[in-house]
A and B are shown apart, each in its own frame.
Chain A
């Protein structure tokens, strides 16, 4: 089999369009995963035992089942209940919900690492629970969370080819569609790999930098 630059040129525009979808899905999915994850974390730490318990176990359930199955559920099963989602919407929701169960653990650990004295000082100054979270706890909890959260962003990016299963034409699916109709696999699939590398290697380096930057200070 010979490498053909004609095929490369031919598939490139479709793949670039796919790459845009991949990046969009990653970022929107990540924002969802962060926001939802923070809410889950707060609920998991709720004083109400039944609430904390049920949130914990439903999030464990989502975490311990494959994302692919969840995507199928959102896209192919929900319509049976009258809920129709666009492929992209279902994909982003799936990514966001699935990864929120991971990020919630990052948030929970980060929040629990803030010393108890900080909560007590806030109470002593009569901060409301919201003000305590917003002005005292999160500003201290978030910096050390940034590196693991960035790593989940990279993981989510690498998981986006799963969205092909629900007909989203992201980077991998764009190549796949081309391959299937032209019986050319070498160039498109190699390009998929190259594209993923081109994004995730610099991203990993950036995440590493963040880790250095937010290393816990030795002097407290």
Chain B
């Protein structure tokens, strides 16, 4: 097992608001990580930094042995070029709270187009893979529908299939059930749970579903105010947290765990 993600002293502010403060974190290849904590604690920012949607202010992020936000030229560390970021993004894919499917494309084209454009797959292979993945997320028969014809839960499952089609080494799930009606949450979490069991893809998920975090994750990180307050296996965090702040936070979820 090797470290696939490493944050070294990473800080990030939005204006006056410091969302990450000198963060150190590493994730092993294949690890399933759940990031929990109050809103605004910086957990989503970690995913957005990894997806290169949000640059860092200082520190270093390593992904799969290479600098994410920097590149080495003549032994000097320089800010990453767009070309370098493009190369680094090949390893990573993100699933969003709002699904962000392409509304002008059918379900199957949402999954086929990125494969053809980015992975240069031929159309038939891409199509087969899309069918396979749609079956995996339980959406056979929805190929030719448009996203707005599907329920939120179905759209999110398509988004998961679309991300899987890119064969990323790292998958990021950003509050993927937060925009869903309560009765649709489970169908998405079930898919994620199956995925976690069946693949060795590294997965980071930001979630407010504590039950899911416990079942899904190898390790849970509790964030507050831009810092990791506590980190450990789910059993420890949920049944016997050491830190008072973790306990206070988890109190809100009593009865739901």
A contact residues vs B (CB 8 Å cutoff): 115, 117-118, 120-121, 123-129, 131, 135-136, 139-140, 217, 219-220
Evaluate contact between B104 and A140: CB separation under 8 angstroms. Answer: yes
Evaluate contact between A121 and B96: CB separation under 8 angstroms. Answer: yes
Given known A120-B96, A125-B114, A126-B166, contact A219–B53 (CB-CB < 8 A): no
Q: Which of A117, A129, A139 contacts B100 (CB 8 A)?
A: A117
Q: Which of A115, A123, A136, A217 contacts B53 (CB 8 A)?
A: A123
Given known A123-B53, A124-B94, A126-B89, contact A131–B148 (CB-CB < 8 A): no
Evaluate contact between B148 and A124: CB separation under 8 angstroms. Answer: no
Chain B 31-71 per-residue mask, 1 if CB under 8 angstroms from chain A, else 0? 00000000000000000000111000000000000000000
Cβ–Cβ < 8 Å partners of A115 in chain B: 98, 100
Q: Please, how many angstroms separate the alpha-carbon atoms of A139 and B104 in the complex?
A: 7
Chain B 92-109 per-residue mask, 1 if CB under 8 angstroms from chain A, else 0? 111010101111100000
Q: Please, how many angstroms separate the alpha-carbon atoms of A129 and B86 in the complex?
A: 10
Q: Please, how many angstroms separate the alpha-carbon atoms of A115 and B103 in the complex?
A: 11
Task: List B99-152 residues whose CB lies under 8 Å from chain A.
Answer: 100-104, 113-114, 117-118, 148
Cβ–Cβ < 8 Å partners of A123 in chain B: 51-53, 89
Return A95 CB to nearest CB of chain B, in Å. 31
Cβ–Cβ < 8 Å partners of A128 in chain B: 86
Evaluate contact between A125 and B166: CB separation under 8 angstroms. Answer: yes
Cβ–Cβ < 8 Å partners of B219 in chain A: none
Given known A123-B51, A124-B51, A124-B93, contact A118–B166 (CB-CB < 8 A): no
B81 CB within 8 Å of chain A: no
Cβ–Cβ < 8 Å partners of A131 in chain B: 117-118
Cβ–Cβ < 8 Å partners of B162 in chain A: 125
Q: Which of A121, A135, A219 contacts B117 (CB 8 A)?
A: A135
Return B94 CB to nearest CB of chain A, in Å. 4
Q: Please, how many angstroms separate the alpha-carbon atoms of A115 and B102 in the complex?
A: 11
Closest B residue to A114 using CB positions: B103
Return A123 CB to nearest CB of chain B, in Å. 6
Q: How large is the interface on B (under 10, 10 to 19, 20 to 34, 35 or more residues)?
A: 20 to 34
Cβ–Cβ < 8 Å partners of A135 in chain B: 113, 117
Cβ–Cβ < 8 Å partners of A220 in chain B: 103, 148
List 8 A-B pairs, minimum CB-CB distance, nearest first. A121-B100, A117-B100, A124-B94, A125-B114, A126-B89, A139-B104, A126-B118, A117-B98
Return B71 CB to nearest CB of chain A, in Å. 17
Chain B 145-165 per-residue mask, 1 if CB under 8 angstroms from chain A, else 0? 000100000000000001100
Cβ–Cβ < 8 Å partners of B101 in chain A: 121
Evaluate contact between B104 and A127: CB separation under 8 angstroms. Answer: no
Closest A residue to B94 using CB positions: A124
- A/B interface sample: 8 pairs, CB < 8 A: A117-B98, A120-B100, A124-B51, A125-B114, A125-B163, A127-B117, A128-B86, A129-B82
Q: Please, how many angstroms separate the alpha-carbon atoms of A183 and B42 in the complex?
A: 81
Return B206 CB to nearest CB of chain A, in Å. 15
Cβ–Cβ < 8 Å partners of A217 in chain B: 148
B90 CB within 8 Å of chain A: yes
Return A53 CB to nearest CB of chain B, in Å. 22
- B53, B104, B163, B166 — most chain A CB neighbours (10 Å): B104
Q: Please, how many angstroms separate the alpha-carbon atoms of A178 and B86 in the complex?
A: 64
Evaluate contact between B53 and A125: CB separation under 8 angstroms. Answer: no
Sample of 11 further A-B pairs with CB below 8 A, known A126-B166, A131-B118: A120-B100, A121-B96, A124-B94, A124-B163, A125-B93, A127-B114, A128-B86, A136-B102, A140-B104, A220-B103, A220-B148
Evaluate contact between A118 and B114: CB separation under 8 angstroms. Answer: no
Return B133 CB to nearest CB of chain A, in Å. 14
Return B245 CB to nearest CB of chain A, in Å. 31
Return A149 CB to nearest CB of chain B, in Å. 18
Return A43 CB to nearest CB of chain B, in Å. 18
Cβ–Cβ < 8 Å partners of B51 in chain A: 120, 123-124
Q: Please, how many angstroms separate the alpha-carbon atoms of A155 and B52 in the complex?
A: 44
Closest B residue to A219 using CB positions: B148
Q: Please, how many angstroms separate the alpha-carbon atoms of A169 and B152 in the complex?
A: 59
Return A133 CB to nearest CB of chain B, in Å. 12
Closest B residue to A143 using CB positions: B104
Cβ–Cβ < 8 Å partners of B148 in chain A: 217, 219-220
Return B152 CB to nearest CB of chain A, in Å. 12
Return A180 CB to nearest CB of chain B, in Å. 54
